[in-house]
Amino acid sequence: MRVMVQLGILAALAGGAYVWYSQAENWGVPRPLALLGLEAPAQRQAPRGGPPGGQVPVVVAPVRIGEVVERIESVGTVRAREAVTITTKVAGIVTAVRFEEGQRVREGQVLLELDSAALQAELDQARAALDNARQQLARARALPAGQAVAQARVDELETLARAAEGRVRQTQARIEELRLTAPFEGRVGLRQVSPGALIQPGTAVTTLDDISRVRVEFSVPEVHFARVQVGSRVLARSAAYGNRRFEGRVAIIDTRIDPATRTIRLVSEFDNPDEALKPGLFLTVELTLESRPSALLIPEEALDPVGERNYVYAIRDGRARRVEVALGLRLPGEVEIRQGLSAGDQVVVRGLQRLRPDAPVRVTETMTRPTS
């Protein structure tokens, strides 16, 4: 009985060894004799990746040249290029409002007038005094030599004339203060006063904004500081305008980095001919750090990552050459290759699992992709 059990165990071991030897090739493991170096060369397994002496069918794609734009995203707020609150310098009663709310006004246009009747009367008196002083001075200078007045009297009349002229200019300046004008071209806001109202110095009348060109302020991490330049392209969008994009340029780079947030502040400028961008509007901005118009791009599925390294199989001389590549920016479905490939190379995108380095291949299909 004991002998029969031993014979059964030996038979089972022999059957298992036979199955291993006969199926090792299908399982992808070396045969026992091959491990010991005892198998004849003709019996050794052909390289993996296809039948012995055969070619592995693969689908390839060419390395294409395309533009890669590297951007970072931030948020910003719209500011008017010029903005001011129109206020009065003097007290007075409003006699006329010369603008409509939301109206676009030109530089120097009168916006508000205060009662100037009292000052006009004072101006008339000052002009009359000036005319009298000038007449006396003219008569004194016109007298014959024998009737000439003393030089001291002439000097006094000249002083009186200059004083009268000064009072006229002073009164005119006070009258001008009763007329509020636009300091620059722009669009006025809401009106804060009404005709007949008595206002005091500093009373806000309205706002004035020049938004034909606006500024957008935002911040970026300090790690990108060295790559930001004046003139860098900025794209902005707002939920208020859906898919519309606004294009501007970096105008100012702050000279200091915020020690609390480790960011640097940028100011960009946008043309705003239709005045769609209003002061205070919240925007999502994309700052272009670098644009590479001749970047090398391959399908992302062509990558064969191993740890932190990335490889591709490039078709060269009818074989799949395993090439290590340095990656750049990732795009939807594609990846930029910074090093390892050249324009015109073909890389395997399907059939990678059956490939081994330098395996002979047969291209069954070449994928075509858009060039932009």
Task: Name all domains of the chain by residue range, CATH numbers in brackets.
Answer: 56-66+293-366 (2.40.420.20), 72-80+207-291 (2.40.30.170), 84-206 (2.40.50.100)
Q: Hey, which residues does 84 pair with through a beta bridge? A: 208
Element (H, E) at 334: strand 334-339
**Position 11 confidence tier, pLDDT thresholds 50, 70, 90:** low
- Asked whether the predicted pLDDT for residue 12 surpasses 90, the reply is no
Higher per-residue pLDDT: 67 or 246: 246
Between the ranges 11-20, 155-164, 198-207, 336-345, where is the mean pLDDT highest?
198-207
**Position 187 confidence tier, pLDDT thresholds 50, 70, 90:** very high
From CA 84, how far away is CA 361, in angstroms rounded? Answer: 73
Task: Tell me what pLDDT residue 10 has.
Answer: 61
From CA 320, how far away is CA 297, in angstroms rounded? Answer: 19
Rounded to a whole number, what is the largest CA-CA distance in the chain?
A: 172
Residue pointed to by tokens 């951007």: 71
pTM (2 decimals)? Answer: 0.59
CB 67 within 8 A of CB 293: yes
Order of strands across the sheet that contains 198-199? 179-181, 110-114, 92-97, 198-199
* pLDDT 10s digits, 129-181: 888 878 877 777 776 655 556 677 777 778 888 888 888 888 888 888 889 99
For Cα atoms 69, 348, 360, give the angle at the middle one, nearest 5 degrees.
150
Q: Hey, which residues does 234 pair with through a beta bridge? A: 248, 287
Going from the C-alpha of 54 to that of each of 47, 50, 362, the distances in angstroms are 10, 6, 9
From CA 366, how far away is CA 363, in angstroms rounded? Answer: 7
Task: Tell me what pLDDT residue 118 has.
Answer: 84
C-beta neighbour count of 333 within 10 angstroms: 10
**Position 265 confidence tier, pLDDT thresholds 50, 70, 90:** very high
- Asked whether the predicted pLDDT for residue 43 surpasses 50, the reply is no
For Cα atoms 281, 283, 288, give the angle at the middle one, nearest 5 degrees.
145
For Cα atoms 183, 185, 186, give the angle at the middle one, nearest 5 degrees.
110
**Position 74 confidence tier, pLDDT thresholds 50, 70, 90:** very high
**Burial class of 104 by CB neighbour count within 10 A (0 to 12, 13 to 18, 19+):** middle
CB 191 within 8 A of CB 204: no
**Position 198 confidence tier, pLDDT thresholds 50, 70, 90:** very high
Lowest mean pLDDT among 2-16, 31-45, 334-348: 31-45
> Mean pLDDT, to the nearest integer, of 334-352?
87
CB 91 within 8 A of CB 200: yes
**What value does the mean pLDDT of the chain take?**
82
Q: Which residues contact 341 (CB under 8 A, 6 or more apart)?
A: 63, 296, 298, 312, 314, 323, 325, 347
